[in-house]
């Protein structure tokens, strides 16, 4: 088994320097840190977290709360967080959203003896779980969620700007019958995307009827059900903005099952730019958010508090987005060029 002594000898460094790197000491030169971490991976060195915890009285574990792992968004986030934390000698405790269902409360596993801090990738507005964790003086960072009622460090994409971007794209293609497939309003990222689209439609003088707004839970089946209800209206939309890729996949599935062709009869836009969105069989037009950069910022903010005792200014860190245009959007049917 490779020890820190072995690692230090291999690199020609002192064991103290290796230990400082593994503690995440920011005073160590970046070049040295990279050398030590690369050699640790090469030699298979694993920090002795148990021994370190006895000395530091810290668990060296960060809790990461997600809604589920079925949506393609969450595995991408978790993978990035786990990789970055492991480089700093931390493990993760992966926890499914304790707010769903409400009668199941897993907050008891989130005490300071178990985790040093929490990254909530899934948290409802005014989440009682977040508040209970904060009451225990456990540091918290919100990722892809916001709660203006709390003074926290928050990492977001430009969700409202994305709504404007999507509507701009669809209206430039001639669409005016535009529907929104959203999520419950207490999911703040989806709500912000919906609000951005609503305001963009209003500025363009395009009415958004209540029939053209549906909300789905974070499941494919419920997304399909809501998408089918949109496409079955007496005057169905010519385009649907889905506030997640998962809902866009459900809409494409619903369209295929009832014989609505995409993009000839229906344009579909998602949000996330998950790996599946780029598959040739899906080829989804979607909003790209820099998920890895956002996850890295959430880790940086939390470790700044844990390792450096530095509390940064609370509030959102907003990352820019861009529209990735692919094959699921096209001219509105009435604007399509006539066939030869």
Decide yes or no: CATH 3.40.50.2300 for domain 54-157+291-319: yes
258 pLDDT higher than 50 = yes
338 pLDDT higher than 70 = no
Q: How confident is the model at residue 47 (pLDDT cuts 50, 70, 90)?
A: low
DSSP string across 139-191:
-EEEES---TTS--EEEEE-HHHHHHHHHHHHHHTT---EEEEE--TTSHHHH
Task: Note the pLDDT tens digit of each residue in 129-149.
Answer: 888 888 888 899 999 888 888
Secondary structure of residue 29 in the 3-state scheme = coil
Q: How confident is the model at residue 325 (pLDDT cuts 50, 70, 90)?
A: very high
Out of 85-89, 167-171, 334-338, which region has the weakest mean confidence (pLDDT)? 334-338
Secondary structure of residue 219 in the 3-state scheme = coil
Q: Which two tokens stand for residue 109?
A: 């596993």
Calculate helix-pair angle for 291-308, 73-87, nearest 10 degrees.
Answer: 40
Out of 1-15, 52-66, 76-90, 204-218, which region has the weakest mean confidence (pLDDT)? 52-66
Task: Note the pLDDT tens digit of each residue in 85-112.
Answer: 988 888 888 887 654 444 344 555 455 5
Out of 11-15, 81-85, 104-108, which region has the weakest mean confidence (pLDDT)? 104-108
CATH 3.40.50.2300 range(s) for the chain read: 54-157+291-319, 159-289+323-335
Pairing relation of β-strands 61-66 and 117-120? Answer: parallel
In this predicted model, which residue has the larger pLDDT, 313 or 92?
Answer: 92
| pTM confidence score | 0.77
Q: How confident is the model at residue 57 (pLDDT cuts 50, 70, 90)?
A: low
Task: Note the pLDDT tens digit of each residue in 276-311.
Answer: 999 999 999 999 999 999 999 999 999 988 876 777
Question: How far is C-alpha 148 from the chain's CA centre?
Answer: 18
CATH 1.10.260.40 range(s) for the chain read: 4-47
Task: Note the pLDDT tens digit of each residue in 195-212.
Answer: 999 999 999 999 999 999
Calculate helix-pair angle for 245-258, 220-231, nearest 10 degrees.
Answer: 50
CATH topology classification for 4-47: 434 Repressor (Amino-terminal Domain) (1.10.260)
43 pLDDT higher than 70 = yes
CATH topology classification for 159-289+323-335: Rossmann fold (3.40.50)
């Amino acid at each position: 088994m490779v020890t820190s002594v072995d690692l230090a000898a291999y690199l020609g460094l002192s064991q103290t320097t290796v230990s400082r790197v593994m503690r995440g000491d920011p005073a160590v030169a970046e070049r040295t840190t990279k050398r030590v971490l690369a050699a640790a991976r090469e030699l298979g060195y694993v920090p002795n977290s148990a021994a370190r915890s006895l000395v530091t009285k810290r668990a060296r574990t960060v809790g990461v709360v997600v809604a589920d792992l079925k949506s393609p968004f969450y595995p991408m986030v978790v993978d990035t967080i786990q990789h970055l934390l492991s480089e700093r000698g931390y493990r993760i405790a992966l926890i499914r959203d304790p707010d769903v269902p409400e009668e199941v409360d897993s907050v008891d596993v989130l005490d300071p003896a178990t985790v040093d801090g929490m990254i909530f990738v899934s948290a409802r507005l005014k989440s009682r779980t977040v508040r209970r964790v904060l009451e225990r003086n456990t540091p918290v960072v919100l990722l892809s969620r916001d709660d203006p009622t709390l003074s926290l460090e928050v990492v977001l994409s430009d969700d409202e700007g994305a709504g404007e971007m999507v509507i701009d794209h669809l209206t430039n293609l001639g669409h005016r019958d535009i529907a929104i497939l959203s999520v419950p309003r207490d999911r703040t990222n989806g709500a912000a995307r919906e609000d951005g689209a609503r305001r963009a439609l209003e500025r363009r003088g395009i009415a958004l009827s209540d029939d053209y707004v549906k909300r789905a839970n974070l499941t494919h089946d419920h997304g399909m059900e809501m998408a089918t209800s949109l496409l079955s209206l007496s005057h169905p939309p010519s385009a649907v903005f889905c506030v997640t890729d998962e809902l866009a996949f459900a809409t494409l599935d619903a369209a295929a099952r009832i014989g609505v062709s995409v993009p000839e009869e229906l344009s579909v836009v998602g949000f996330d730019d998950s790996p599946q969105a780029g598959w040739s069989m899906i080829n989804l037009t979607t909003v790209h958010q820099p998920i890895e950069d956002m996850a890295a910022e959430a880790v940086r903010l939390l470790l700044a508090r844990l390792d450096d005792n530095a509390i940064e200014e609370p509030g959102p860190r907003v990352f820019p987005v861009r529209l990735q245009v692919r094959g699921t959007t096209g001219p509105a049917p009435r604007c399509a060029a006539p066939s030869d």
